[in-house]
Chains A and B, each alone.
Chain A
Amino acid sequence: MINIRINGEEISAYPGEILLEVARRANIYIPSLCFLKDKKSPDHPCGLCVVKVEGEGIVRSCVYRVERELEVDTEAPEVKVIRRKILEGLVANHYGDCKAPCHTPCPGGLNIQGYIGFIAKGDFRASLALIKERLPLPASVGRVCPRFCEPVCRRSFVDEPIAINDLKRFVADYGLEKGEVIPELPPLKDKKVAIIGAGPAGLSCAYFLRLEGYQVTLFDKEREPGGLLRYGIPAFKLPKEIVQREVENILKMGIDFIGGRSWGKDFSIDILRKEGYEAVFLAIGARKEKTFGFEGEELAESGFKFLIAFSKDEVDIKAYYGKKVAILGCSYTALDLARTLRRLNCEVEILYPRSKMEVPVPLREIVFGEKEGIKFTYMTVPLSLKKKEGLYYLVLARTSLTEKREIKVLSESAFEMSYDFVFRAWGEAPTDEFKTFGEIEAKLELTPEGTIKVNPHTMQSSIPWVFAGGDFVHGAKTVIQAVASGRRAATAIASFLEGKPLEKTSLTVKFDFSRGKRVEEFDANFIDLFPQERRATLEERTPEERVKDFKEVLSGLTPEEAIREANRCLRCGCLGIHKCDFREILIREDVGVSKSRKRMKYAIEKGHPLIELDSNKCVACFKCVRSCPYGAIFLSVINKGTLQEYITFKFTSACVNCGICVDVCPTGALTKKDLLVPYSRKQARSVKSVCTFCGVGCNLTLWVKNDTILEVTGRDLPPNFGATCVKGRFGFEFYKSKDRLTQPLIRRSIKEEFKPVSWDTALDYVAENLVRIQEKYGPEALGFLCSARTSNEENFLMQKLARAVFKTNNVDCPARV
């Protein structure tokens, strides 16, 4: 052995060993895109593996053999300069999306392309499991999400965006109907967390804390959990039984709920602390109603309170039935209220001081309202309100907008209208009332706006063990944002309770290649690859019918529609990201991607039956060519590393589809067509397996996530040393086939139909009959067959059953087929 020093660290190497391999053995990082163990270096090596050897200067560590004692520096400045230059050359020729555009705006950070990919394969449960890694309320969010993702969906350049939220709703409903996907729960730790407010933020925080093993108690002033999902959002948008079941699923994980206990009235944070809660999460929502500020505004009824009372059946419906109503403001509350009142046969008018384009809700909400016969009067402000003899008299004026888009009242246009009821619904904001709830509460710091002050990443307040999130912190926003803040808080609370610093989330945007976001940046050649196809739409009940009741307006997609819709996805996000060494190296070497190519050079090739080729992502490492056992790849790279670089890649007729080229490719240039879910290897479990087909017995690695095998790779062990055939790498999805036997079946005679029975019944039936036949005809009347596909242990038991239990040597196996 030779002792060498790498970056000052003493390491022993075998004489003649390749320096790069020595370093890798010692877990010392040296980047390389083209190094392949036991294979010749390509004609134009990537050159990234350069290191500085004392006395010799810069060498390529992938070919440098250790023959003497050495002093090696892998991070010398001159080395870094060379690497940067090479990487910048590669960046300039790279074109693709590391992550799909839909991924970025989602407050929940859902793996959207991933869950759509699972749906495309008909694997609804895996899709739901993937969603529930980050969103515990998918059926609710799947109905009320404003869809931050859909406007940026690339598909809209082709025709219309993917119905992302409808797909989410579909799998969530599928779960509610066919049996929930229950995440694996760790055993409970001896640490308690209290959550005040059982709305989306509180429930989400509870869910993620429970997944980390904490004991969680949810407190809420209402008797039932759910917050605004239950008490705010009307049933025709979000049916109560959906909320009920989703909330139940969360509580069933072993989370305590204590309802009817109001913070500030029944308890304070101090009491919780004394009861042994080591952290508290405040998520009571935004309950302070905003005002507009006009004379007599206080006379108007509260839309917010009306909706809550209505959901609790505490409204005297007769008093409102068929009345003429004005609603001031165009918030979610205003729309929900308007549509609720329409269902009480009211004549409803929404008054809003600005234009239709400026409403603070998605336009689709307005469209629903319009269809249901709600009158929208824009550019109109209330000036004063009076109440006389049971009627409201509202003085209104038209508005215009200043250049700064501020509201200018046109007072000369003032006119008076009369209504049976006038509601105010300007939206809600967090309150600061809590300051008076107790000693600890008094110490909580506020923002200049008067809301509780928290660190936006950790949701931690000025008191380290008190966290806050949801609408209580950032005002009335969306359910998905509340869920996201609950999850962030849970992560921070867990770190806090374990006394660990919070892991910095790696913001890798600087290293995310993008094909462009806006239409003017975008290369239309990409969208030309996709034929137009209609977007799936939810079936909508007719306005005439739906205003007569409170039943849900939209019904979900059918499985066939969902699969079809999921297959419209352009799969923008790189499906090789899990194996992309290139990206890892860019991050390590801190080389950004802003100078990447903006135009597509090569069409994406889908001609190969199993492999998709995107030469726009090729780094010309020739690993594919060098690892192909069949010489089945033609690759030529002209002007490598320059902007004039031109790549020609072809699978020749010698290709037998084994797929090793995909596994060695260090980017997304080669990807597997059957892998539709972007993932990172860290998120997946790698499971050792053995191929179930021929007698060679190749060692395989299964990459598993969401109870699903995402892909299979060869393991570097005998007999296959990383190689597999087409069946080994691509032949695994049979286990998900709908033809699988899932229940024991029995029948008395082969003329009858089978009937499904329990294991007990089936096994008793087998035992009984085998014993009967043995007793009646003797052991020789029985035969037992082992299998060439079951394990050794199982075959051992089968022959033991024959010999030890039934006393016969009538045992055979498929050695003869």
Chain B
Amino acid sequence: MHFEEILNASLLFLIGTNSTEAHPIVAQKISKALDQGSKLIVADPRKIAFTDRAHIYLPLRPGSNVPLLNGLAYVILKEELYNREFVERYVDNFEAYKHYILSEWDLSRVSRYTGLKPFLIEQAAILYATSKSALILWGLGLSEHRSGSYSAMAAANLATLCGFWGKPGCGAMPLRGQNNVQGACDMGGLPYVLTGYQSYLDEAVRRKFQEVWNVELPINEGKTLPGMLKSALEGKLKALYAMGYDVAMSHGDIGEVWRALSNLEFLVVQDIFMPLSGKYAHVVLPSACVYEKSGTYTNGERRVQLFERAVNPPGQAKPDWWILTELGRRLGHNWNYTSSAEIALEIGKVWQGWAGINHGRLKERGLQWPCLDEQHPGTAILFTSGFPKEKVHLALAKYVPPLEEPEEEYPFILVTIRKLAHYNIGSMTRRVSSLMNLYPEAVLELNPEDAKRLGILEGAKVKVWNKRGEVFYRAHITDRVPQGMVFTDFHFDNALTNILVSPGLDELMDTPEYKVSTVAVAPA
């Protein structure tokens, strides 16, 4: 997928993404599409900026993405608005899916979960299904829930039902939060697959890796980070090596993370600034930052792009690849990489999708994988000529409600969000004076009615707490936020929002449930 596709879509459906703050350049393209006449559906509990331009705004209750998406499917199936030809040709499991949706997701049930009027859902479904082309863009508002993975499936199902694949302005696209999260996954930074999403359970795959690496590969199932943390708490995982990943600040329910980390026998952190995890570390290794080394990043379009060294690293800081190479060598392996470019060539050897990628080709512009050989131009849109496995499987998207429901003691739903001037845990952006001038501290957004009731004035200090901890913010009162909900960022180390975050995890993928935690709020 190509971000430019946004301009070709006659309908854009934004769900759980506030690109104005989190992906500003995507937001520019959305604006341009709207200027050109595209229609817009926005589903978000908060009146984000794009709701001002939405043809249909669906202010759903946090955590009810699966009901909403299945409800839309319900209308499309019920009204027979789906793309019959596409479904017959490319789709698998249609009958089971249809049955599941029609029997379980009638609009009264959907309405109960989402808080949306059935009429609105019908309108949205009709607009979506009858558009010439439609593109669903989703963000972490969709995925950071207990049924996050199911939500993604439900979104993909909608596109499949309507045949919105493989054509200009069509598809369903997650907007990746961090600049190389795509690349980290592509490279095999996941417990269940190797580089290029190849399974280590597949003999042929294993043989290929073993030939290049000259070692046997493990086949025991690996643990996700939440799995590792749980294992550390149980005293089974003894050592953790974290590169450029400050688990102690960025994970949900970090209080539990701190307990897990302090239970480790050995923790190595490798970073450009002292991470919060450093508190539990035995070794801290200083890395060179992006400007001080060369390498590639892969963006949300699968576009592999080269960045080149501009300045020298401070002190003894070294590129991460240098550190890992030195370590590999010390551990008796024949690692002789002298540059990031050499490593890139090895990636192409174990993964066909990267076979045509090398740093030389990337000097001018990036390449979108799959890029099969040195002449291959890369692939902008996947699935233009059918799907990888013969047919698209319509998965049954299950609904798992949020772990926590507002109740008397903790009556507010806390949702974590991002702010334009900052990035993730803020370790970089908090160290840029211009950005700090723009957004100097963590702010809690709350509804005017709630503020009045609690006696909170604009700009006042507020305390937010639950049984996991308490955090102080400056209040911003805005009717963009519905009653009973508060929104705040996690960019500041003096307002560790993640300590409040629910211990809930995505049922399938272990993603923490950042988007629904219950809290109490009071003036500080």
Nearest to A673 among chain B residues (CB) is B434
Docked pose: A805 CA to B326 CA in angstroms: 13
CB distance from A408 to the nearest CB of B (A): 63
CB distance from B71 to the nearest CB of A (A): 27
Nearest to B350 among chain A residues (CB) is A796
Q: Is the CB of A702 within 8 A of B189?
A: no
B-contacting 9-mer, from A137-145, A205-213, A357-365, A768-776: A768-776
Provided the pairs A727-B429, A743-B316, A785-B243 are in contact, do residues A817 and B512 lie with their beta carbons within 8 angstroms? yes
In the complex, which residues of chain A have a beta carbon less than 8 angstroms from the beta carbon of B237?
780-783, 810
Provided the pairs A786-B243, A812-B190 are in contact, do residues A759 and B324 lie with their beta carbons within 8 angstroms? no
Docked pose: A630 CA to B344 CA in angstroms: 39
Q: Which of B186, B293, B314 contacts A740 (CB 8 A)?
A: B314
Q: Is the CB of A805 within 8 A of B310?
A: no
Q: Is the CB of B195 within 8 A of A796?
A: yes
A719 within 8 A of B: yes
Docked pose: A315 CA to B189 CA in angstroms: 75
Of the listed residues B184, B240, B289, B331, the one surrounded by the most CB atoms of chain A closer than 10 A to its CB is: B184
Provided the pairs A720-B25, A812-B190 are in contact, do residues A796 and B245 lie with their beta carbons within 8 angstroms? no
Q: Is the CB of A785 within 8 A of B247?
A: yes
Of the listed residues A734, A781, A794, the one surrounded by the most CB atoms of chain B closer than 10 A to its CB is: A794
B38 within 8 A of A: no
Q: Which of A740, A759, A814 contacts B178 (CB 8 A)?
A: A814
Q: Which of A739, A745, A749 contacts B284 (CB 8 A)?
A: A745
Q: Is the CB of B512 within 8 A of A797?
A: no
A-contacting 9-mer, from B62-70, B272-280, B472-480: B272-280
Q: Is the CB of B347 within 8 A of A792?
A: yes
Q: Is the CB of B243 within 8 A of A787?
A: yes
In the complex, which residues of chain B have a beta carbon less than 8 angstroms from the beta carbon of A743?
286, 315-316
Docked pose: A780 CA to B227 CA in angstroms: 11
A-contacting 9-mer, from B123-131, B210-218, B389-397, B456-464: B210-218
A723 within 8 A of B: yes
Docked pose: A735 CA to B286 CA in angstroms: 12
Q: Is the CB of A788 within 8 A of B307?
A: no
B34 within 8 A of A: no
In the complex, which residues of chain A have a beta carbon less than 8 angstroms from the beta carbon of B403?
none
Provided the pairs A697-B298, A809-B221 are in contact, do residues A789 and B3 lie with their beta carbons within 8 angstroms? no
B236 within 8 A of A: yes
Docked pose: A398 CA to B408 CA in angstroms: 101
Q: Is the CB of A750 within 8 A of B281?
A: yes
Q: Is the CB of A731 within 8 A of B428?
A: yes
Docked pose: A811 CA to B250 CA in angstroms: 17
A531 within 8 A of B: no
Docked pose: A734 CA to B23 CA in angstroms: 20
Query: Which parts of A678-701 form the interface with B (CB within 8 Å)?
Result: 685, 687-699
In the complex, which residues of chain B have a beta carbon less than 8 angstroms from the beta carbon of A777?
236, 238
Provided the pairs A720-B25, A740-B315 are in contact, do residues A813 and B189 lie with their beta carbons within 8 angstroms? yes
Q: Is the CB of A707 within 8 A of B271?
A: no
In the complex, which residues of chain A have a beta carbon less than 8 angstroms from the beta carbon of B187?
786, 792, 795-796, 799
Q: Is the CB of A694 within 8 A of B178?
A: yes
A-contacting 9-mer, from B113-121, B157-165, B261-269: B261-269
Q: Is the CB of B311 within 8 A of A704?
A: yes
CB distance from B147 to the nearest CB of A (A): 14
B208 within 8 A of A: no
Task: Please encode chain A, from 746 to 784, with 1 for each CB lying within 8 Å of some chain B CB and 0 for all others.
Answer: 111110001000010011111101110100110111111
In the complex, which residues of chain B have a beta carbon less than 8 angstroms from the beta carbon of A410?
none
In the complex, which residues of chain B have a beta carbon less than 8 angstroms from the beta carbon of A688?
306-308, 363
Q: Is the CB of B180 within 8 A of A702?
A: no
Nearest to A817 among chain B residues (CB) is B250
CB distance from A802 to the nearest CB of B (A): 8
A725 within 8 A of B: yes
B8 within 8 A of A: no
CB distance from B508 to the nearest CB of A (A): 11
Query: Which parts of A641-667 form the interface with B (CB within 8 Å)?
Result: 656-658
In the complex, which residues of chain B have a beta carbon less than 8 angstroms from the beta carbon of A783?
223, 225, 228, 231-232, 237, 239-241
Chain B interface size band reads 35 or more
Of the listed residues B232, B266, B363, B512, the one surrounded by the most CB atoms of chain A closer than 10 A to its CB is: B266
Docked pose: A613 CA to B277 CA in angstroms: 43
Provided the pairs A737-B273, A786-B189, A799-B188 are in contact, do residues A791 and B295 lie with their beta carbons within 8 angstroms? yes
CB distance from B338 to the nearest CB of A (A): 12
Q: Is the CB of A765 within 8 A of B365?
A: no
Q: Is the CB of A734 within 8 A of B180?
A: no
Provided the pairs A813-B184, A816-B509 are in contact, do residues A699 and B305 lie with their beta carbons within 8 angstroms? yes
Docked pose: A814 CA to B180 CA in angstroms: 9
Docked pose: A494 CA to B328 CA in angstroms: 47
Task: Please encode chain B, from 416 to 451, with 1 for each CB lying within 8 Å of some chain A CB and 0 for all others.
Answer: 000011111001110111110110000000000000
In the complex, which residues of chain A have a beta carbon less than 8 angstroms from the beta carbon of B243?
784-787, 790, 794, 798
Q: Which of B183, B331, B432, B506 contacts A731 (CB 8 A)?
A: B432
Docked pose: A71 CA to B245 CA in angstroms: 62
Q: Is the CB of B331 within 8 A of A767?
A: yes
Of the listed residues A750, A780, A812, the one surrounded by the most CB atoms of chain B closer than 10 A to its CB is: A812
A567 within 8 A of B: no
Provided the pairs A702-B310, A810-B237 are in contact, do residues A767 and B327 lie with their beta carbons within 8 angstroms? yes
Provided the pairs A769-B239, A810-B237 are in contact, do residues A759 and B218 lie with their beta carbons within 8 angstroms? no
Q: Is the CB of A690 within 8 A of B241?
A: no
Nearest to A747 among chain B residues (CB) is B282
A276 within 8 A of B: no
Q: Is the CB of B238 within 8 A of A763?
A: no
Docked pose: A155 CA to B328 CA in angstroms: 58
Q: Is the CB of A725 within 8 A of B180?
A: no
CB distance from A128 to the nearest CB of B (A): 14
Docked pose: A795 CA to B274 CA in angstroms: 20
Q: Which of B175, B228, B321, B346 contacts A695 (CB 8 A)?
A: B175
Q: Which of A657, A731, A788 contacts B245 (CB 8 A)?
A: A788
In the complex, which residues of chain B have a beta carbon less than 8 angstroms from the beta carbon of A749?
282
In the complex, which residues of chain A have a beta carbon less than 8 angstroms from the beta carbon of B183?
791-792, 795
Q: Is the CB of A695 within 8 A of B181?
A: yes
Docked pose: A43 CA to B306 CA in angstroms: 40
B182 within 8 A of A: yes
A506 within 8 A of B: no
Q: Which of A702, A754, A811 contacts B222 (CB 8 A)?
A: A811
Docked pose: A787 CA to B181 CA in angstroms: 7
Q: Is the CB of A733 within 8 A of B318?
A: no
In the complex, which residues of chain A have a beta carbon less than 8 angstroms from the beta carbon of B293?
791
Of the listed residues A698, A765, A800, the one surrounded by the most CB atoms of chain B closer than 10 A to its CB is: A800
A392 within 8 A of B: no
Q: Is the CB of A784 within 8 A of B241?
A: yes
| A-B pairs with beta carbons under 8 Å apart, 28 shown | A609-B437, A690-B179, A690-B307, A694-B22, A694-B178, A695-B23, A695-B182, A696-B25, A696-B179, A696-B299, A707-B312, A709-B311, A719-B301, A726-B435, A727-B420, A727-B435, A730-B434, A739-B273, A746-B283, A770-B266, A788-B245, A790-B180, A790-B295, A794-B295, A798-B189, A801-B327, A805-B328, A814-B245
Query: Residues on A close to B: CB < 8 A?
Result: 609-610, 629-630, 656-658, 673-674, 685, 687-699, 702, 704, 707-709, 717-720, 723-727, 730-735, 737, 739-750, 754, 759, 762-767, 769-771, 773, 776-777, 779-801, 803-805, 807-817
Query: Residues on B close to A: CB < 8 A?
Result: 2-4, 20, 22-26, 28, 31-32, 175-192, 194-195, 200, 213, 215-226, 228, 231-232, 236-245, 247, 250-252, 262, 265-266, 268, 271-274, 279-287, 289-293, 295-301, 303-312, 314-321, 323-328, 330-331, 333, 337, 340, 343-344, 346-347, 363, 365-366, 420-424, 427-429, 431-435, 437-438, 506, 509-512, 514
Q: A754-B284, A809-B219, A810-B222 are in contact. List 14 more A-B contacts (CB 8 A).
A: A629-B28, A694-B176, A696-B179, A741-B274, A744-B283, A763-B330, A781-B237, A783-B237, A786-B189, A794-B243, A804-B215, A807-B217, A811-B189, A813-B184
Per CB-CB distance, the 4 closest pairs between chain A and chain B, nearest first, are A742-B315, A697-B299, A809-B222, A791-B295
